[in-house]
């Protein structure tokens, strides 16, 4: 069983802080509770995080010549008192009550959207010069694109599916019509 052996080890009566810094911080005695036996550096950091970060944080001495530029910046001192507690959004399901019904939201009416019709350069005659391509399907096209199920295209500039018979040829480029 481990026990505190501070009284036995500190036979010269050194102050506790000095003794711990000089001896206990290096001791590996498995019987003493102050020793580092079985503890990793991570364990030591997690045991003292609150004191190191909140109760006794490291501070810069304003008279240190190495930090003269930093000390001359006129920083505002902040009260390092109690840290305010922040509540979480967690709610215990056992304490829930029936929710209050809220009135239905009123939908705002949006202004009517007017369609914009743009005619191609050269007027409507440009569309009349292209041959009719309805009823043609590229080989291997999915069944959803067959002519009976093809979507209706209302935009004159939208691209429509091109249907080509099996074994047919397709030319791309000027004057191909496809």
Listed by start position, the domains of the chain span 1-78
Position 151 pLDDT exceeds 60: no
Mapped onto helix, strand or coil, the DSSP state of residue 46 is helix
Residue 151 CA to residue 159 CA, distance in Å, equals: 11
Phi/psi of residue 67, nearest 5 degrees: -115, 30
The pLDDT assigned to 118 comes to 53
Per-residue pLDDT, averaged over 34-61, amounts to: 84
The pLDDT assigned to 24 comes to 85
The pLDDT assigned to 11 comes to 86
The pLDDT assigned to 153 comes to 56
- What DSSP string describes 2-36? -B--HHHH-TT---HHHHIIIIITT---TTBTTS-
Which of 51-55, 149-153, 170-174 has the highest mean predicted lDDT (pLDDT)?
Answer: 51-55
Residue 150 — very low, low, confident or very high, per pLDDT cuts 50/70/90?
low
- Residue owning tokens 């944080």: 57
């Amino acid at each position: 069983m481990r026990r505190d052996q501070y009284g036995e080890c500190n036979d010269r009566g050194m102050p506790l802080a000095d003794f711990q810094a000089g001896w206990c911080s290096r001791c590996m005695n498995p019987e003493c509770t102050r020793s580092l036996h079985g503890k990793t550096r991570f364990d030591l950091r997690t045991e003292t995080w609150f004191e190191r970060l909140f109760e006794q944080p490291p501070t810069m001495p304003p008279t240190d010549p190495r930090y003269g530029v930093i000390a001359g910046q006129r920083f505002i001192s902040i009260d390092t008192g109690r840290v305010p507690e922040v509540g979480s959004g967690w709610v215990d399901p056992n304490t829930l009550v029936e929710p209050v019904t809220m009135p239905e939201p009123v939908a705002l009416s949006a202004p009517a959207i007017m369609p914009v019709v743009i005619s191609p350069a050269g007027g409507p005659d440009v569309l009349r010069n292209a041959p009719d391509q309805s009823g043609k399907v590229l080989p291997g096209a999915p069944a959803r694109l067959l002519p009976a199920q093809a979507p209706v295209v209302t935009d004159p500039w939208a691209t429509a599916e091109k249907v080509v018979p099996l074994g047919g040829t397709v030319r791309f480029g000027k004057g191909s019509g496809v």
